Amino acid sequence: MRHFAPFAAAAMIAAALPASAALAPGARAPDFTTQGAIAGKAFRVKLSEQLKRGPVVLYFFPAAFTSGCNAEAKAFADAVPQFRAAGATVIGMSADNVEQLQKFSTEHCAGKFAVASATPELLRQYDVLLDRPNLPRAMSDRTSYVIAPNGRIAFVHSDMSPVDHVRTTLDAVRKLPRPRG
């Protein structure tokens, strides 16, 4: 745990900063391929492949193993059955490396959804990069996107507090038109 102390301090600093996301509803979500983990196992995540299954809740978080991010991951894990019932896939994203995310995916995500590693470029594309000189490494703000199957942003919730991300994204997913079939 001592390895994460600098990141915890950085997350607390970041928590005091306002969050804002420039990708507005209707904008095309940047496609990406990156490495991630689910239930401790590494795997490749490609947004466009996930969207073939239905909407994606892509939530960015500052750093694994920090109190707010741990709480948010648990809240998403607890709500995964509701997201699945609404046809959505949940993916968490941070600038953490895959090794950290493998452990985090087991301990805090309960193996219920994927977490993936975002490069600084991907954080910029989604306009979630905390570009502050006092941060020890690239970090994201806390922003959740609901991405419709057509690749368009349907909803954005950007707030450094983890409290309402699950509720607001689940509400947004439930309001999306369901495919007939």
What pTM did the predictor assign?
Answer: 0.86
The pLDDT-based confidence of 102 (bands split at 50, 70, 90) is very high
Model confidence pLDDT, tens digit, residues 64-97: 999 999 999 999 999 999 999 999 999 999 999 9
Domains annotated for the chain, with CATH where assigned, are 2-18+27-175 (3.40.30.10)
Say what the pLDDT of residue 21 is: 46
Model confidence pLDDT, tens digit, residues 39-48: 999 999 999 9
CB half-sphere exposure, 70, CA atoms < 13 A: 8
pLDDT, mean over the chain = 88
Report angle CA 126, 127, 132 to the nearest 5 degrees: 135
Question: Residue 153 pairs with which residues in a beta bridge?
Answer: 147
Query: In Å, what is the CA distance from 16 to each residue of 69, 136, 160?
Result: 15, 16, 8
Mean pLDDT of 123-148: 90
Mean pLDDT of 134-142: 86
Model confidence pLDDT, tens digit, residues 3-37: 444 344 344 434 434 445 469 999 999 999 999 99
